[in-house]
Structure 1
Amino acid sequence: MTDPSRGGATPEVVVAADEGAVRVLTLNRPQVRNAIDMPLRIALAHALEEADLDPSVRAVIITGAGDVFCAGGDIATMRRMPPDEARSRAEAAQRVVRAIWRTPKPVVAAVEGAAYGAGLSLAMACDRIVVGDSSAFSASFTGVGLAGDMGIFASLPARVGVARARQMLLLPKRIDADQALAAGLVDEIVPAGEVLAAALHDASRLAAGPALALGAIKLMLSGSPRAPLDMLELEVEHQVRLFGSDDFAEGAAAFREKRTAHFGAVSHQESL
């Protein structure tokens, strides 16, 4: 893959590139440590929605150009604003997270360097987080008088528990990669510079997996906590659907024949 930070006079703020069935989306504002402004929010949401609708894409990676994943919101573009303008800005950020959570396709964050503020929120919205051993994290919203957005009040306590999430948000501090792994904030640490390769390995495995089953897992683990008995009912509904799928027929046949299963593409409509 080429370095998306190089190019013409007006580079795209999000660069999309396909590696087989994996769509790699690169935040491309390295000159400001990939800080998120309005054009980037809109471009990233659009790129995620396009990946969701593209039947040739079976998994997605989000990463950052240069040596930083995302330093957070672009404070240089922020100012005191009236409610209508603030709402438009906040809803543009939430559109990104909705796209990640609503797609049945696995989304992997490949984090080199810092993931602060909204950058942390973006990473944690993903289904898997692979980080470099020099990466660092901070829920640094209160430094500019904000509380946090992009799903952090759902994703952070889901990963580390409510008590730890409260302290991370109230008294933000820098958390290194080892601390993040121990807390459950991230899923894997690899040597710096090898993060995208590791994420591509994982995403390729996911892309080769049973799309309907992976989509069901995402759906079952998203949203508000469900009562145990409600969860049992939902499990039945998903299993009924999956037992009638081509992926299940292939997986069962492969097991009987002692070979690797080859799961086929599933259309966007079939996966809903």
Structure 2
Amino acid sequence: MPRIRLDTDGPVVTVRLDHPPMNAFDTAQRRELAAAVRELADDGEVRAVVLYGGERLFAAGADVGALAAMGPEEVRGWNRALQRTFDEVARLPVPVVAALTGYALGGGLELALAADYRVAAEDAQLGQPEVLLGIIPGSGGTQRLTRLIGPSRAKNLLMTGRRVDAAEALCLGLVDEVVPANEVYDTALRYARKLAEGPSAALEAIKEAVDHGADSGLSAGLALERSLFTGVFGTADAGTGIRSFLEHGPGKARFDGRARDN
């Protein structure tokens, strides 16, 4: 049975983790996710993506039983592949929204960290519990978590392995919105649809400027921003937006939704 499902709703595609009971990442699910993400990256009709694990939970991490059977060399290759897959999620050229229900732990949280926006259920539990197994996160947890909530807070979660509830996650900046559990997916989908109506080239440029600029010095980040600004300025959507502003005022532009150039 497939462990990853793609559900299309116009320009928005939901990547559904479907590996019960806990959506634990094993090699098969990782490969399916990688294939799905590459398909989405090459599909010019896709304008936003939602990551979803279902009504019960998002994902409870890696398949610990499978990891226990690996030696250091094998686990290094397995981890490298999972890290690469989550990085491909982060580098999708469209907005990515994570809809978090139940547990988002270990590799599950690392996948959520690769999204641009996170909606959590009121009863959600998030954490990086790897230290409790005597190991560390290996698929972005030490890096994306630190960049998102800061070194001190990240070290607290990483070193204790403790879980945080949705309210604390919101205070930490780990999630962006908290809603009742039965509203998580609809809220994420609604936000993704709103972003999908925006100018695709500008949204892609914003992701690139923020993500890559954060990993460089200010001067390099400003140079990247300048280059991206110049490139976006020449797009049809920029012409539409500027013309609409001059004729009708701010916030009334309707972008054409054309496919991205492949």
Where on the TM-score scale, by shorter chain, does this alignment land: which range?
over 0.9
1:95, CA displacement in angstroms?
2.3
Counterparts of 1:95-114 in structure 2 under 5 Å? 95-114=84-103
1:150, CA displacement in angstroms?
1.6
Contact conserved, 1:53 with 1:268, CA < 8 A, in 2? no
**Which of 216, 233, 237 matches 1:226?**
216
1:65, CA displacement in angstroms?
2.7
**Which of 119, 125, 130 matches 2:114?**
125
Gapped regions of structure 2 (runs ≥ 5): none
CA distance in 2, matches of 1:136, 1:45: 25
SS in 1 for 2:206: helix
Partner AA of 1:247 in structure 2: D
1:18 aligns with 2:5: no
Q: Which moved more, 1:90-99 or 1:173-182?
A: 90-99
Q: Match for residue 94 of structure 1?
A: 83
SS in 1 for 2:211: coil
Partner AA of 1:22 in structure 2: V
Deviations 1:128-186 (A, max 9, x none): 00111111111101122220022112210111100110111011112000000001000
1:268, CA displacement in angstroms?
4.3
Q: Match for residue 156 of structure 2?
A: 167
Deviations 1:104-148 (A, max 9, x none): 111110001110111111111110001111111111011222200
Contact conserved, 1:61 with 1:200, CA < 8 A, in 2? yes
Q: Cα–Cα, structure 1 residues 57 and 126, in superposed 2: closer, same or farther, change >3 Å?
A: same
Contact conserved, 1:29 with 1:65, CA < 8 A, in 2? no
Count of residues in Structure 1 that have an aligned counterpart in Structure 2: 258
Contact conserved, 2:240 with 2:253, CA < 8 A, in 1? no
SS in 2 for 1:69: coil
Tell me the TM-score normalized by structure 1. 0.90
Q: Which moved more, 1:228-237 or 1:131-140?
A: 228-237
Contact conserved, 1:251 with 1:263, CA < 8 A, in 2? no
Partner AA of 1:233 in structure 2: A
CA distance in 1, matches of 2:237, 2:259: 9
CA distance in 2, matches of 1:126, 1:241: 24
Gapped regions of structure 1 (runs ≥ 5): 1-10
Q: Which moved more, 1:218-227 or 1:117-126?
A: 218-227
Aligned sequence identity (%): 35
Partner AA of 1:265 in structure 2: R
**Which of 163, 179, 189 matches 2:168?**
179
